[in-house]
Structure 1
Amino acid sequence: MGCRDSDTVIASLCCICFWLGLVVLMPVMVALYSSPSSPYFSVDLFDNQAFNMTSPKNLTIHFHLRLKNRNSAIGLHYPDPIKITFSYFPNVSMMVTLAEYTVDSFYQGNGKTKNVRDFVETNGVPTVLEGTDMVAFRVDLVATYKHKKVGSKRHKVEVGCVVGVNYTTSQKLQTGFIGMAEPGLDSKLKPPPRDDYAGY
């Protein structure tokens, strides 16, 4: 076999490998790109913080928020500030807001995780959940995001979680990061928005 024939065989093998790789990878890339996932949020309250729940002063809440882009092939853009609300339940029928925090607009690369470590000063002292020795904190997050691809629409996400803390020992009932999910029954405890057009 001459050099020319050998080169032809090598070129043919390379071409076959290229097309086989394209056939295998194309469906995977299409699936990743055409059906992108929503971001995942989790939070760790009072991260490495020593605090006294019985102090008469306003409580400082230290937190560590994680925002995960679960898409390995598509970036995410958060065009609006992300709003985070810290509240607590004095009883099972109401929720009291303690503080609010915002994260500025940003872009998040493929598969990247953004970490936000900070603290907020509350405007009051939380009380125990009625009938228990636990303070039931709630963290709510409202954000809008767009996938970095042609024709992507803006999506809105509202998620939250509850973090229980023993009032006497200041020990958290859940340790580490808690995943934030779409609000359930507890979100209905918020006062309904005022309807300024009622009766018109």
Structure 2
Amino acid sequence: MARCASFATFIACLFLTSLLLGVVVLFPVMIALFASPSSPSFAVNLFHNQTLNMTTNLTIHFDLKLKNENKAIGLHYPDQINITFSYFPNVSSLVILADYKLDSFYQGNGKTKHVRDVVEAVGFPRVLEGTDMMVFRVDLMGSFRYKKVGTKRHKVELGCLVAVDSITNNKMQRGFIRMVKPGLDSKLKRKPTPHYGGGVGRRL
């Protein structure tokens, strides 16, 4: 009986020791995850599964990917996310083709959200002056907040460029393009979209 009691005590001590070691190892990791959370990442596949037709007003298919990079913290997107589709007629200006708005939502730990939709462009994109390419730009503006007590909104302003061969109508980059902080081209003067019933998101 004494031997059984000693064995039970040994097992209990082993369990408590393992539990303590687990806490010691995991506690700093959890602190790091909560103390230094990552910003979400955004990427877009412009003209997603689309055969381009450049002879008429352009219909833009897109797949926007939003990823919560945090395994331990959820994200709130409290405001509408605004997405603008533009193109470069030359190196000194941008022309807006369409706008799209994504309503506020919550994103769980480590989750990825895809937004696949269509917008009708206002007007017709032209070839970038001096090249045989049409160069499109996608801009995203919004905000997010970590699911933690007392956290504030963090603004997001990102963009990317997508080039299309004007002869073959094929994209020159395949798949998703990561959206990054805009460079000097974001400072270019934009020509506004004419106000006549187009350029807004159309749900599929």
Q: Which bin holds the TM-score, normalised by the shorter protein?
A: over 0.9
Residue in structure 2 matched with residue 83 of structure 1 by the alignment = 82
Residue in structure 2 matched with residue 125 of structure 1 by the alignment = 124
Does residue 62 (structure 1) correspond to residue 61 (structure 2)? The answer is: yes
Residue pairs, 1:1-200, within 5 angstroms: 1-53=2-54, 55=55, 57-191=56-190
Shift of 1:82: 0.5
Separation (CA, whole Å) in 2 of partners of 1:60 and 1:168: 18
Residue deviations 1:123-142, cap 9 Å, x none? 10000100001110000000
Aligned partner of residue 158 in structure 2, secondary structure? strand
Residue deviations 1:103-144, cap 9 Å, x none? 111000000000000110011000010000111000000011
Separation (CA, whole Å) in 2 of partners of 1:175 and 1:111: 25
Shift of 1:163: 0.1
Shift of 1:3: 2.1
Separation (CA, whole Å) in 1 of partners of 2:189 and 2:83: 15
Aligned partner of residue 170 in structure 2, secondary structure? coil
Which segments of 5 or more consecutive residues in structure 2 lack a partner in the other structure? 191-204
Residue deviations 1:58-117, cap 9 Å, x none? 100000000000000000000011100000000000001000001111000000000000
Identical-pair percentage: 64
Separation (CA, whole Å) in 2 of partners of 1:78 and 1:26: 28
> How many equivalent pairs are there?
189
Separation (CA, whole Å) in 2 of partners of 1:171 and 1:31: 44
- AA aligned opposite 2:86: S
Aligned partner of residue 122 in structure 2, secondary structure? coil
Separation (CA, whole Å) in 2 of partners of 1:152 and 1:34: 11
Separation (CA, whole Å) in 1 of partners of 2:150 and 2:13: 38
- AA aligned opposite 2:152: K
Q: Is the 8 A contact 2:82 2:100 kept in 1?
A: yes
Aligned partner of residue 28 in structure 1, secondary structure? helix
- AA aligned opposite 1:174: Q
Shift of 1:47: 1.1
Separation (CA, whole Å) in 2 of partners of 1:116 and 1:158: 18
Which segments of 5 or more consecutive residues in structure 1 lack a partner in the other structure? 192-200
Q: Is the 8 A contact 2:52 2:170 kept in 1?
A: no
TM-score (norm 2): 0.90
Root-mean-square deviation (Å): 0.9
Separation (CA, whole Å) in 2 of partners of 1:47 and 1:61: 8
